[in-house]
Amino acid sequence: MPQSITRIPANIDSRLLGAATEGTLWDLGNEVLYELCAKYPRHDAEKEILAKIWLIGRSYAAAIERRKNSKQDAEQFYLKTVAPAIRNSDIDTWLSDIAWERKPTSENYSGIVAVHKKLTDLFFDISGMKKRSLASKYLHFHFPHLFYIYDSRASSAVAKVTVG
């Protein structure tokens, strides 16, 4: 079972909390991505899959076409590899298994992590790279209440405020 935080680390003060919770210039762009995933939550139409994977990946510097040994140009890779692989996967079943959850808890975290792992594995099959950051971002825009964006920026910010 993961450790829970029992107290706020001493180096987090009201100024830092305020800065972390106020709006940013990026909020409108993020709202567009949330709305896109809310309007097109499924993965059975290639144009919807392409819009989501392309815009989320490119917006967050985690594009799926960034890969080793690329033999196709990016457009062909999206059209011939990415969209069909996602459409033919069980992603909608994975997502439906957790769709009713309202927040991560000690009771449901294993299911949430399992979905992230399955998507990471799918991205590995597609690109030859794990793409964990892309998986967290893609899942976040589908389920912001269950998945947090975790990338090098988040890792660096956590390191600044954690004790020990």
Whether 138 and 53 have beta carbons less than 8 Å apart is answered as yes
Q: What is the pTM of this model?
A: 0.84
Query: What does each of the 164 residues of the chain score in pLDDT, given as a tens digit?
Result: 455 555 556 667 778 777 777 888 889 999 999 999 999 999 999 999 999 999 999 999 999 987 666 777 889 999 999 999 999 999 999 999 999 999 999 999 999 999 999 999 999 999 999 899 999 999 999 999 999 887 888 788 777 777 65
Residue owning tokens 């590899």: 81
Q: Report domain extents, the chain.
A: 43-161
Q: Where are the alpha helices (DSSP H) in 79-131?
A: 83-87, 91-98, 109-127
